[in-house]
Chains A and B, each alone.
Chain A
Amino acid sequence: MDSKLILDGLAKSYPGRPVFTGINAEVGCGKRLVITGPNGSGKSTLMKVICGFIRPTRGRVILNVNNQKLNRLEIRPHIGLVSPDLVLYDELTAIENLLFFAGVSGLYFSARELENRLDLVGLGGRGSDFAGSYSSGMKQRLKYCLALLRDPELLLLDEPSANLDEPGKALVDEIIRSRRGITVIATNERAELEYADEIVRLG
């Protein structure tokens, strides 16, 4: 699929406090946009604006998929998100979480297929464990598994290697480098700035 993400003059402010202003960027298929800036500069807010969870004060987010312009809510089925703000159900097992989110997305996977997917992110054999019993690093791996489940056009990674050990970071590196769609990364890690085809500096 051919796709393009355009951030057109984005600005966000809360009463009496501007968060960011004048954000412009354009990234095409297979390219990576890195958003960086100090703590509190609005990286996570910008990610939520791109996802359509927050309306921008000015400007717009455009995702073109196969020459079709998608609006704020139409973008969502094309997004995979890994973020500290994204929380899965602690009361469900990893497999149940994946089955549920696949189901409400209109996709059907067998438990065996999902076990294989979990294996790819280093959670092989742990699919029957409750997500609540996972360590923070395992939860991050589970988020990657979920984000990649529907093979999204737009993968948004907020602090992509948070809580991950070295093998986990290597897995993230492999995921980012092998992506065919658009990847947006919000990070402060110097090593992750190297992924950038386009960079947005906040603050």
Chain B
Amino acid sequence: MPMKSSGSVKRSIAVFRKDIKCELRTRYAINAILMFAVVTVFAVSWAIGGVGLTEVLQASLLWIVIYFSCLAGLSQSFVKEEESKTALALRLYSPAEAVLGGKLIFNLVLLVVLNIITVPLFGIFVGLNISNFWLFFTMILIGTVGIVGATTIVAAIISKTSVKGALFAVISFPMILPLLIMAISGTKKALIPGLGFAEARMEIQVLISYLVVMTVLGFLLFDTVWND
């Protein structure tokens, strides 16, 4: 006899584990993201040709690489469900909030892996003079979670359309722009000697507010997006 288990968290983890398993077997999203990130880092490195960059340029280029790598891969978690037609079974068996929860965790893990590879590569080939490591780490972490919160719901929206790639970029860019501005500003402060958490307080507050609002909005809207 089957045993009943409940809880959205458990179901979200089931969706996440399924996605990780499928991803490790197909490398559907990770290849796209990593290829884009590595190629972009090398392209930037080649373009600047060893010229020293100001802190604001280093921070801007780093977040541009991270953002465009996201565009290459974060939509795949939903797009793949629609393209392989497994979305119907997922809709039938899984509650909507578990699907969103699972996809959020999956995209977060994907982006953390991307950052673990991209940020050191960027530091080596483009140059990152980190003055305050923990502030830098905090900015990357909050920025990453914010991007995932905003783009995952966009991915769900665009997955049912015919021009997925273009729409994902068009819809997510204006949503992500405030986050990018704050993340660049905060990261810049982590690169400038003598600045710390006190000087970056406003950026941290805005980023945390942004990610909370986006994640809550995502959960409120997702039921309609997923089921209609």
Contacts and interface: CB of A to CB of B under 8 A. Distances in A.
Contacts of A88: 86, 89
Contacts of A76: 91-92
A61 to B, nearest CB: 14
A107 B4 contact: yes
Contact of A106 (B6, B18, B26, B85): B6
Contacts of B228: 55
A105 B93 contact: yes
Contacts of B142: none
Given A104-B11, A107-B2, A108-B2, A86 B94 contact: no
Q: Which of A52, A53, A91, A109 has the most CB of B within 10 A?
A: A91
A92 B5 contact: no
A55 B224 CA distance: 12
Q: Which of B6, B11, B18, B228 has the most CB of A within 10 A?
A: B18
B14 A87 contact: no
Interface of B, helix, strand, loop or mixed by DSSP? helix
A87 B85 CA distance: 6
A92 B86 CA distance: 12
Contacts of B89: 86-88, 101, 146
B84 A90 contact: yes
Contact of A91 (B2, B22, B91): B22
B4 A81 contact: no
Interface residues of B, number: 29
Contacts of A108: 2-5
B205 interface: no
Interface string B1-21: 011111000110011011001
B227 interface: yes
Nearest to B23: A91
Given A101-B93, A103-B10, A108-B4, A92 B21 contact: yes
A107 B11 CA distance: 10
Given A87-B84, A107-B3, A51 B92 contact: yes
Contact of A53 (B14, B17, B84, B88): B88
Contacts, number: 76
A100 B14 contact: yes
Contacts of A1: none
Interface in B69-122: 84-86, 88-95, 98
Interface string A89-102: 11110001000111
Contacts of B26: 91
A194 interface: no
B85 A104 contact: no
Contacts of A191: none
Contacts of A149: 2
Given A52-B227, A76-B92, A150-B2, 14 more contacts: A76-B91, A81-B92, A85-B88, A86-B89, A87-B86, A87-B89, A89-B22, A89-B86, A103-B10, A104-B93, A105-B93, A106-B11, A108-B3, A108-B5
Interface of A: 51-53, 55, 73, 76, 79, 81, 83, 85-92, 96, 100-109, 113, 146, 149-150
11 contacts: A53-B88, A76-B91, A85-B88, A86-B89, A90-B84, A92-B21, A100-B17, A101-B93, A103-B10, A103-B11, A103-B14
| 8 closest cross-chain pairs (CB), A and B | A104-B94, A103-B14, A87-B85, A108-B3, A107-B2, A91-B22, A101-B93, A91-B25
